[in-house]
Amino acid sequence: MTLAAVPPSSPLPTVPTVPGVRATARIRAIRAGDTTVLPTLVGDGPFDLRRARPHGSQARVCILAAMSAPLGGDRLRIDATAKHGADLHITTAAATIALRGPTTAHATYDVHLRLAEHARLHWLPHPLISAARSNLRQSCTIDLAATARLVLREETVLGRAGEGPGRLSTRLTVRRDGRPLLEQQATFGPGAPGWDGPAVLADHRAIGQILIVDPTLEHRPPHARLLGDDPATGQAVLTPLAGPALLITALAPDTLRLRRLLDAAHPIG
Amino acid sequence: MNRAALLVLADGRFPAGGHAHSGGAEEAVTAGRVRDVASLEAFCRGRLHTAGLVAAGLAAAAAAGYDPLLLEEAADARTAAPALRYTSRRLGRQLLRAARAAWPCAALDALATARPRGAHQPVVLGLAARCAGLTPLDAAHAATYESIGGPVTAAVRLLRLDPFDATAVLARLAPDMDHVAAEAADAAQRVQADGPAALPAASAPLLDITAEQHAVRGARLFAS
């Protein structure tokens, strides 16, 4: 092995389309008596969907990614719908690691969650890790009926141990009863201006959010609350949104301390 | 076209109350994250490309004639921290008073009636620009400049920086401001067809966290 591991400069053979996997996972939950059943539970490509042991009236699904994904060029999509009165809990089996893959082109990872009246959804995936030289555009779009309830926890880690992050853009769009409730975008990594500066992340590399949407919050809105007063171990804030919802935003040096902050702000069993 | 009105609207001496706010710079100074010219510039670059871009998008859409009450809703959805929603409405209320005196206009009167406790500042800014005969791109420029002009002025006072060095920060970020304003005005062109979801929504976690820290701090020079 030499230090002069310069990639060959000769152009790659022209390929007609960007290589990459196109895959979709579909989950549909409906209420059946005292339980929630899953008439649709299908995934192709890297997605392998498993029924987990139900929890009372709640159906539980675990998403396994059988291959390393997403790589550059991949187009991945998860569609989950909780119909009227259904109670659905979705997790992933392991962290999702965005890697460079055979091309520098971006990958997309789009999650669409739909909640009908009186439905409840827990969306609790493992962390998303943006590895060096990866390029991922991730989005999460959520449509809730007025009486639906949501518990969402998302954690993002910028770079594996000892490396910088790839390029990652994220978008979270939450609409309740057809009106915008929360709209957030972020772009991190090489070429993204200001992301590691003192207004955005400073030197934190683990970012987490918990979003709770619950109509009962309309009558008892929470007060804003700060957590973690030592920037070395992370900091977080719980904020009431302009609607029956609260958002916890946490920043930490690593996932362990991030989860500790999120659990302190709002324990999720 | 009345370009000089843009200078009036964007002037720091325009009586809209902005001088009492640091745009998060005071809390960043207190936390030690902004301590010199270099870290001030990094702070401003981050603020410009997040809060500045969002404000510019809302302002450009309002200047283009999009329904200000739908933009109010879009501003709420893009402002997770209640301290920042409060500050935005407080600044919007003061700007609305000044703008109604400067450019009397039925649209500004209607917004004041619909939002007696204050509308979001970027929405008012865009509507004021429209009433002054300015373009959506002009409104976006005013919003981007304001998003970092305030923090720079505040940092000069808080850190006793050389005003020449501080102004050089703004000058170095001028190409970024042009870029952000153009991106915001482009997005505003898509609002009539695609709705407010077309507008930028770039978030800055530390600005949200520190806004709530600042709101409960006793001794402070700036309101935000």
ipTM: 0.96
Q: Is B216 on the interface with A (CB under 8 A)?
A: yes
Q: Which of B154, B161, B153 is nearest to B36 (CA)?
A: B161
Residue pair B19/B139 in contact (Cβ under 8 Å)? The answer is no
Closest CA to B46 of B26, B67, B62, B25: B25
Domain range for B194 is: 4-8+24-213
Query: Distance (Å) from the C-alpha of residue A144 to the closest C-alpha of chain B?
Result: 15
**Which residue from B74, B200, B207 is facing A180, i.e. has the nearest CB?**
B74
Q: Looking at the predicted structure, is the pLDDT value of residue A12 above 60?
A: no
Facing residue for A184 by CB, picked from B39, B83, B201:
B201
CATH code for the domain in which residue B109 is found: 1.10.4190
Residue A86 per-residue DSSP state:
-
pLDDT at site A104 = 87
For A249, the closest of B42, B77, B209 (CB atoms) is B209
Lowest mean pLDDT among A65-69, A150-154, B48-52, B158-162: A65-69
> What pLDDT sits at residue B26?
97
DSSP for residue A13: P
Distance from B150 to chain A by nearest Cα, in Å? Answer: 14
Whether the CA torsion A190, A66, A80, A216 is positive or negative: it is negative
Are B196 and A180 in contact (CB < 8 Å)?
yes
Residue A236 sits at the chain B interface (C-beta within 8 Å): yes
- Indicate whether B91 belongs to any domain: yes
Min CA distance, B77 vs chain A (Å)?
4
Helix, strand or coil, per DSSP, at residue A109: strand
pLDDT surpassing 60 at residue B163: yes
Measured CA to CA, the distance from residue B5 to residue B144 in angstroms comes to 16
Separation in Å, CA of A32 to nearest CA in chain B: 35
Q: What are phi and psi of A75, to 5 degrees?
A: -125, 100
Residue A159, helix vs strand vs coil: coil
Q: Which of B49, B203, B213 sits opposite A226 (nearest CB)?
A: B213
A199/B46 CB distance under 8 A: yes
Query: Within a domain: residue B19?
Result: no
Domain presence at residue B29: yes
Angle between helices B106-114 and B82-102 (to 10 degrees): 150
Q: How far apart are CA B125 and CA A38, in angstroms?
A: 50
Distance from chain centroid for Cα B144: 7
Instruction: Please check whether residue B39 touches A, CB under 8 A.
Output: yes
The DSSP H or E segment spanning B110 is helix B106-114
Q: Calculate how close chain A gets to B33, using CA atoms only, in Å.
A: 6
Structure confidence at residue A167 (pLDDT): 97
Residues 173-192 of A with CB under 8 A from B: 173-174, 179-187, 192
Domain count, chain B: 1
Does residue B74 sit within a domain? yes
Q: Decide if pLDDT at A10 tops 50.
A: no
- Going B19 to B216 to B85 to A186, the CA torsion angle's sign is positive
Residue A162 contacts by C-beta under 8 Å, 6 or more apart in sequence?
none
Is B31 near chain A, with CB under 8 Å?
Answer: yes
Query: Mind listing the pLDDT tens digit for each residue in A15-59?
Result: 445 678 899 999 999 999 999 999 999 999 889 999 999 999 999
pLDDT tens readout for residues B121-136: 999 999 999 999 999 9
Position A16 scores a pLDDT of 47
Predicted pLDDT of residue A161: 87
Which helix (H) or strand (E) element contains residue A91? Answer: strand A87-92
* Alpha carbons A169 and B49: distance in angstroms, whole number: 13
Separation of alpha carbons B23 and B51, rounded Å: 9
In chain B, positions 96-155, which contact chain A (CB-CB < 8 Å)? Answer: none
Asked whether residue B144 is domain-assigned, the answer is yes
- The residues near A35 (Cβ < 8 Å, ≥ 6 apart) are A54, A57, A59
Length reported for chain A: 269
DSSP state of B134: -
In a domain, B13, yes or no: no
d(CA B11, CA B98): 13
